[in-house]
Structure 1
Amino acid sequence: MYQQGDTVEVVRLLSVRKAYGKDRAQVLALDDVTAGFARGTFTAVMGPSGSGKSTLLHCAAGLDKPTSGTVTLGGTDLSVMREVELTKLRRDRIGFVFQAFNLLPALDVEQNVTLPLRLAGRRADPAFVRRVIEQVGLGKRRHHRPSELSGGQQQRVAIARALVTHPEVIFADEPTGALDTRSAQEVLSLLRDATNVSRQTIVMVTHDPVAASYADRVLFLADGRVVDELRQPNPDEVARRMTALVARTEQRSPEGPWLSELTR
């Protein structure tokens, strides 16, 4: 596990490059990205369309292998692992929350939440499962099926499912993209509480400045590179930097003092 000073980084990408295709058809999705995600922190990843933010999440989570560079999770190098090993690692050590809730319609809340444990052959602690379900505000709906829940409630089930395995990190890809404003705020508050109370590490891809403001910091990507970082973000500042970044990207000028221009 990488440590710098008193900060322990649960996930670290070092000089990660990801290319798709070959020769003239090659697309460089990540270009020499180095980034770390410390234990008990909430990081939002933002950038214009095609900036590489989803690719960064996929490489960091072991869903895709980098063309070069290394990705480590808790000291384990994902870059050299076989697919069967990666599958087990993702199941046992990583939590996922996506825009699509990915719940099984035939299972009730409690069964959906404990599904990762059953797939791993692990015994669920009933008291802990109940506590997690209550934590996401669904204690009275434990035996409801997804069709009996609102979109926001279904996403809360997905968060409980991610938390129940005690993951080292939770990766969230546009977790509020399909929700109304109120439900989105409830989901983001749950993620924020998971960091504040349980020291959960969360990495979230989002396009929404308000969602990003719930994080401890925001990483901004453009053309496959990390070009800016904002700590203790607020929606207005996030929106301002994104506007400047989009304008810069549209000019198709890959060179220049990104950070100074964005933070001016």
Structure 2
Amino acid sequence: MTRTPYSAVAVRDLVKTYRTGSAAQTVLDGVTLAFPGGTFTAVMGPSGSGKSTLLQCAAGLDRPTSGSVTIEGTELSGLDEAALTRFRRDRLGFVFQAYNLVPTLTVRQNVTLPAELAGRRVDDTAVRDVLGRLGLADHADTKPAAMSGGQQQRVAIARALLSEPAVIFADEPTGALDSRSAAQVLKLLRDAVSGAGRTIVMVTHDPVAASVADAVVFFADGRVVETVIDPRVDAVAARMATLGAPVGAGR
């Protein structure tokens, strides 16, 4: 019997409106989406379509104007700021285009920093294991300035994986990388899903990156316009063109 995937992340009737004086701009317009557990979903759309705002709200980094976000059975609107911070720290992982590494710390110190800030014991075996899996075993004592962009992004992924998060949110994780480094990072994210059962939601503008995902959600004007399963590079690029987003364009 085939098991139906559960929704690791579910957003319902999500609205996000920004106000400047008397003017209001609705960036998310009643979005309802479910991201199945143990899957990799890419979110794409033209600049200003709302895709990054969706990720920020779904990840609990920004509060929606209305609607609900539920992650692993926990509705985020029911959490105060302190509880929300703990939930993000304990249950979620984040990988951004900006690596957000502390330049004065070594690779190992950067990777273990969130756990130490949370007052959790750091398992040295787990640290060695995650660094080894990401090809960073020989760089544990290296500082970010001595590393390439691809290596720094792998450090960011190691940091995200160390706490064994249920869900990883990634915002343009390959946007600043060359094609070789981008391919390595995408393989690591794919392996986190296929090998470890993580759930990944990734915003990207790159059809090649999107083709690594199990599904692509296309956004325009704050709404979902289409979801494509088992995406191909050429089909993704063609769909983006119909949305008015040049291939390779930013957010």
Q: Structure 2 length as normaliser, TM-score?
A: 0.94
Give the secondary structure class of the aligned counterpart of 1:121: coil
Structure 1: which 5+ residue stretches go unaligned? 248-264
2:18 match: 20
Q: Percent identity?
A: 60
Deviation at 1:172, TM superposition (A): 0.4
Residue 203 of structure 2 is aligned to residue 205 of structure 1: yes
Q: Deviations over 1:160-179 (max 9, x none)?
A: 00000111100000001111
Instruction: Name the structure, 1 or 2, with higher relative contact order (CA <8 Å, separation 6+).
Output: 2
Deviations 1:103-134 (A, max 9, x none): 11111111111111101111111111111111
1:104 is aligned to 102
Task: State the SS of the aligned residue for 2:42.
Answer: strand
- Post-superposition offset of 1:25: 1.2
**Alignment counterpart, residue 242 of structure 1, candidates 223, 240, 243:** 240
Distance in 2, matches of 1:52 and 1:208, equals 16
Q: 1:58 aligns with which of 52, 56, 59?
A: 56
Number of residue-to-residue matches in the alignment: 243
Q: Deviations over 1:191-212 (max 9, x none)?
A: 0111110011100000000010
Quick one: distance in 2 between partners of 1:62 and 1:18?
13
In structure 2, the partner of 1:157 is 155
Aligned to 1:135: 133
The 1-side partners of 2:77 and 2:29 are apart by 16
2:67 to 66, 69, 72: 69
Cα distance, 1:80 vs. partner?
2.9
Matches within 5 A, 1:141-180: 141-180=139-178
Alignment-derived partner of residue 34 in structure 1 = 32
Return the letter of the residue paired with 1:70. Answer: S
Give the distance between the partners of 2:239 and 2:22, measured in 1 at CA: 32
Q: Find the counterpart in structure 2 of residue 10 from structure 1.
A: 8
1:198 is paired with a residue of what secondary structure? coil
Give runs of ≥4 in structure 1 deviating > 3 Å. Answer: none
TM-score by length of structure 1 reads: 0.89
Runs of 5+ consecutive residues of structure 2 not aligned to the other structure: 246-251
Cα distance in 2, alignment partners of residues 169 and 31 from structure 1: 24
Pairwise CA RMSD: 1.3
Give the 3-state SS of the residue equivalent to 1:202 in structure 2: strand
Q: Distance in 1 between matches of 2:57 and 2:118?
A: 23
1:94 aligns with 92
